Structure 1
């Protein structure tokens, strides 16, 4: 199974203070992922893998089928966007991972999700 960059992934993040409890070391973040199929054939997202690291270097791995209960198909040039969340014990952390994708021809590949920052506003100077 190879890595493939024909599926372009971009991420935006937001801290959710109303859903956080800093006094209890609970910092809730939302992230919005956009996948764009820039390959020459339709693809389907099958599985996700996340490596979440907080500011204390505590690591959590998350694996599962699809995203937000879906295994979306993307035609050539099509985009899929979803929003999900992560709870950290520190005001700063990172996420990275990959999606397991299947091409129309049945071959599978990993679409890498580049590392991105989760940070409370003002936590980094």
Structure 2
């Protein structure tokens, strides 16, 4: 059994039609991530690891330091919010992954539950 995550992660996605081109199989989605430190520990978000899937079964992995150029430190009860974007080849897809966090006791991974990327009107 995996320990409970020290973070509450909320995701809001938005399809961006003006930066998408269906004829070229390009669908751009913005996503806003809200991270709440629900633990009693100070946490530093050191790395992110994303798995991005489209409806054709293509998977892209994105991994790197921090988020949007930052490695925020969250005190207990503190919130951090950021926005980013993903491009996929189909009007429907999904993302999931994890954040790697530094704590006083070492490094831990906080899972990011799967969330959907969907052009409005595609799904019922």
Question: What TM-score do the two structures reach when normalised by structure 2?
Answer: 0.96
Q: Deviations 1:14-65 (Å, cap 9, x if unpaired)?
A: 0000110111100000000010001011100000000000010100011000
Tell me the equivalent position of 2:118: 119
1:23 & 1:3 partners in 2: Cα distance? Answer: 45
Gaps of 5+ in 2: none
Matches within 5 A, 1:1-125: 4-103=4-103, 105-125=104-124
Deviation at 1:6, TM superposition (A): 1.6
Q: Which has the higher contact order (CA 8 A, sep 6+)?
A: 1
Calculate the aligned-residue CA RMSD, in Å: 1.1
2:63 & 2:6 partners in 1: Cα distance? Answer: 22
Gaps of 5+ in 1: none
State the aligned residue count: 123
1:47 & 1:4 partners in 2: Cα distance? Answer: 19
Deviation at 1:106, TM superposition (A): 4.1
